[in-house]
Every structure is written in C-alpha cells, then in structure tokens.
Structure 1
C-alpha cells in the first residue's frame, strides 16, 4: 500500500491547507516588495519570512508523516501566534471605528489582492489546525510511533 493511501483524507487536506497558507504568505510578501510598499528593513523582513516559510514546509512534511510534535508546532507557532500576527492590526483598526466598506472603496488593486490573500491565508491556517485534530487525524497520530526530533534511534530503543 502506498503511503498516501495510509494517510487519512483529513491529514492530506490539512497538509494542503498548510501549503495554501504558506503560499498565501509568500504571495503577500512578493506583493508588498514588488509594489514598493516594503519598509526600510525589507531585506531582513523578507529573509525572516523566507526562513519561516521554509521551516513551515518542513514541519508540514513531518506532520504529514505522522510526527505528533509537528502538529503541535503548527498549531502553536502558526495556528496561534501566526494568526494573531495576521489579524491583530486589522482587528485594532476595526476597533478604532474604521469601516471595511470604506477601506474597500478606497483600495487599489494591490490592496484588494493583499486583502483577498490574507483572508485565504487565515482561513487555510484555521482549517489546517482543525483538520489535524478531528477523530481520524487523532487516530492517525496515535498509530504513528514517536521519533526523536534528531539523531539516530538509540540501540536500546530498537528492541
């Protein structure tokens, strides 16, 4: 049986959602840089984002292979902290009495593309988080033997 056939559809879909979220993050970064709206430290910002995107892809791969720690890293780092970083400014902006309708009316193409991407980004993160914890996903992670995060398995653990 091929590996993909052993992985529940919820985990395959969660993987897709995480990759969509990462792709949206890359798109948002490219959009900001190419539009000339990047702040003075854009090289550092882009470098940090690139490292986060690469690390996220690697953790998604580990989650897909059944590593329990990976789903917790995705949930905590990207699901919780990442979502807070993506939504804090818009929520504060709305709390100050600003209007979404007015923002849309005053937006250009780059703003609308960015906003649409951000909605897809957040929705994909939330879906990815939920799908990693439905019953079929929980069963999948329970049946996977835990692996050390790095290094070879000690001889005594092979018995």
Structure 2
C-alpha cells in the first residue's frame, strides 16, 4: 500500500524532531559538563532520554508502516506531552520576564545553538502533527491494516 506524501513528510519531520531532541540533550550535557561535571543525576537523565528517543523512533517506524495505534501514540506522547514539556517551562519563564533566548535556550555558552535547535524541534513536531492528521493521511489510516505474522 503506497503512502501518501503527507505520511512520508510527517515521518521525516518526526525523525527531525527526535534528532533535534538528541542534539538538545548533547548541548545541555556539554554545558553541564563544562560548568560542574557529570554526576549520577545527569547520567540518569541521559538514560531516561535515551529510552524516550528510542521509543519515539520505534513509534515513528510503526507510524510509517501505517499502524493507527502508532499515530495515536505519537499524537499523545510527542504532540501533547512532549510539546507541553518544551513549551510550558519556556512560557513560564517568559511570563517571569526572561528574554526569549534565555527562556528557550538558557544562559550558557550554547544558548543560541540550543534556541535554534529547540525552535526546529517545536516546528517539526507541529508540522508532523498537522501532516499526520491531514485528509490524505486520514484516508490512508482508515484503510484496513495489513496482517502480519
């Protein structure tokens, strides 16, 4: 069954969002390592994020193969929970008077790089979400799913 272009593009955008999340983690850990070193809490955070990123890539793979449950999983976990985790803290900092760069990118040496990657991450999630629920994607996911052994 041929995928519509919207599903192909959404798949690429989801992969872009996940890679952006990985880059954000690398930037944040690099900043922490420069300032204070990496302790057990940082390693725990890296472990949790690694599980999340691997799980997200698995969901994207199933989404690309037309699995309805993966589309719902991406919508709930990444479009709602993940996006809220990125946007709400920044919005709260903006409300407290922080600059846009500081609220989104932090205040370290990598603030501008983090800011740019975070905006790419957010844009990729928003665009992927819109595409995966477009008319052509909806029609694609309404078709009977293939039976696998």
1:76 counterpart residue number:
76
Map 1:1-159 → 2, pairs under 5 A: 6-35=2-31, 36=33, 40=39, 41-100=41-100, 109-145=109-145
Helix, strand or coil at the partner of 1:34: helix
What root-mean-square deviation, in Å, do the aligned CA atoms of Structure 1 and Structure 2 show? 2.4
How far did 1:103 drift?
7.1
Aligned residues: 144
Structure 1 residue ranges without an equivalent (≥5): 153-159
Helix, strand or coil at the partner of 2:110: helix
8 Å contact 2:13–2:125 — kept in the other structure? Answer: yes
Structure 2 residue ranges without an equivalent (≥5): none
Name the TM-score, length of structure 1 as normaliser.
0.81
| Farther off after superposition, 25-34 or 39-48 | 39-48
Moved runs in structure 1, 4+ residues, more than 6 A? 101-104
CA pair 101-112 structure 1, distance change in 2 beyond 3 A: closer
CA distance in 2, matches of 1:33, 1:119: 19
How far did 1:31 drift?
0.9
How far did 1:120 drift?
0.4
Q: Provide, for residues 91-141 of structure 1, a one-character-per-residue CA deviation record: whole Å limited to 9, x for no partner.
A: 00111123337879x955400000110000011011111101000000110
Q: Which has the larger radius of gyration?
A: 1
CA distance in 2, matches of 1:32, 1:101: 15
